[in-house]
Amino acid sequence: MSVATETAAPAPPKPRSRLEHRPGLNRWLPYALLAPAVLLELFIHIIPMLVGIWMSFVKLTKFFIANWSSAPSAGLGNYKVALDFNNAVGQGLLKSFGVTVVFSLVTVAFSWVLGMAAAVALQPEFRGRGIVRTLFLVPYALPAYAGILTWNFMLQRDTGAVNHVLNQLHLTDGKTFWLIGGNALISLITVAGWKLWTFAFLTLMAGMQSIPRDLYEAASVDGAGNIRQWRNITLPSLRPVNLVLVLVLFLWTFSDFNTPYVLFGTAQPPAGDLITFHIYNASFLTWNFGTGAAMSVLLLIFLMIVTGAYLLVTGRRSRRA
């Protein structure tokens, strides 16, 4: 947006704020205002991240936790262990990565489709719209663990609501295991999607409010039906919102910890072994922080590559458009 204004014909010089007329004060005040935020971000995020990278290169087992400076160097040893797909640790990581990719893609798609469907249904005004919208925001507002605990109860084999309903509808015999075995992934997607689709809904609904009404009116006059209007007006107008939304949903789901942790406890079924949870268990069950740190760095590199590629591809496409 700012690029467009700069290249536009001779705009009048932007009136400078009076705050900017005081050179002395001006020079240090913004930095002083930022200092607390910067220091805290450094202390809790940036420095730990650098320490994490260092940790991935040392043999940081439980003997060195209180005395980390004497931990011996491991070179690339931790990475070799994490990426050796012939041994148990490497295989576990690879499997967990595969599960996470499937979980993440399906959950994002699921959440986006439901969010879009609801946002479109609520686009025209009608009686009761406010109530429905408020209701749809409840899963998002609920503390994550409260919602997941409820699902945990509902997914119990013998006492849960899910098996009860499926049995009453004659779809299953009502004896399905949802929290152990192969169904764990389905459960994870449902539970994570239950909360996440409402965020997609919230964002898409907000984005739709800024689409001018006369676009739809003009299209109606031209005889375009609702589906064509959605394809030709709603979708293109929401493009910037969608770009951010899909990326954010992906990054969130890929590093989701709450859902598997609250749903399964420490006994994670292999089919629900999401990567963050896997790293967590690998570190805190064995107290081998070195390998855990190496896995975290690999995860970070992967997410950075995906984000970079995503921004590159979407950026190029919008420039062409």
Contact 281, 225 (CB under 8 A): no
Contact with other proteins (CB under 8 A): which of 94, 137, 180, 306? 137
Residues in contact with 154: Cβ distance below 8 Å, sequence separation at least 6, in sequence order: 160, 161, 162
Smallest distance, Å, CB 283 to other proteins?
A: 6
Give the tokens for residue 170. 């004659």
Stretch that binds other proteins, among 76-84, 104-112, 129-137, 181-189 (CB under 8 A): 129-137
153-172 binders of other proteins (CB under 8 A): 153-154, 156, 158-161, 163-164
Does 262 bind other proteins (CB under 8 A)? Our answer is yes
Contact with other proteins (CB under 8 A): which of 25, 102, 235, 311? 25
DSSP secondary structure code for residue 86 in this structure: T
Rounded distance between C-alpha atoms, residue 138 and residue 146, angstroms: 12
Smallest distance, Å, CB 105 to other proteins?
A: 17
Contact 106, 191 (CB under 8 A): no
One-letter amino acid for residue 15 of the chain = P
Contact with other proteins (CB under 8 A): which of 101, 121, 171, 312? 121
Stretch that binds other proteins, among 42-50, 77-85, 177-185, 312-320 (CB under 8 A): 42-50
Binding mask 176-215 for other proteins (x = CB under 8 A): ------------------x---x---xx-xxx-xx-----
Contact with other proteins (CB under 8 A): which of 106, 109, 246, 303? 303
73-112 binders of other proteins (CB under 8 A): none
To the nearest 10 degrees (0 to 180), the angle between helices 184-208 and 129-141 is: 130
Contact with other proteins (CB under 8 A): which of 6, 20, 173, 222? 20
**Reduced to 3 DSSP states, what percent helix, strand and coil does the chain have, rounded to the nearest 5?**
75, 0, 25
217-256 binders of other proteins (CB under 8 A): 220, 225-226, 229, 240-241, 244-245, 248, 251, 254-255
- Reading phi first (left if > 0) and then psi (alpha if -120 to 50, else beta), residue 184 is in alpha
Smallest distance, Å, CB 136 to other proteins?
A: 6
Contact with other proteins (CB under 8 A): which of 103, 110, 136, 178? 136
Would you call 224 helix, strand, or coil by DSSP?
coil
Smallest distance, Å, CB 161 to other proteins?
A: 5
Residues in contact with 296: Cβ distance below 8 Å, sequence separation at least 6, in sequence order: 52, 56, 279
CA angle in degrees (0–180, nearest 5) for 175-176-180: 130
Smallest distance, Å, CB 320 to other proteins?
A: 22
Which residue, 9 or 213, is less far from other proteins as judged by CB?
213
Count of residues interacting with other proteins (CB under 8 A) = 109
Q: Could you tell me the CA-to-CA distances from 37 to 30, 31, 138 in Å, in that order?
A: 12, 10, 31
Which residue, 207 or 269, is less far from other proteins as judged by CB?
207
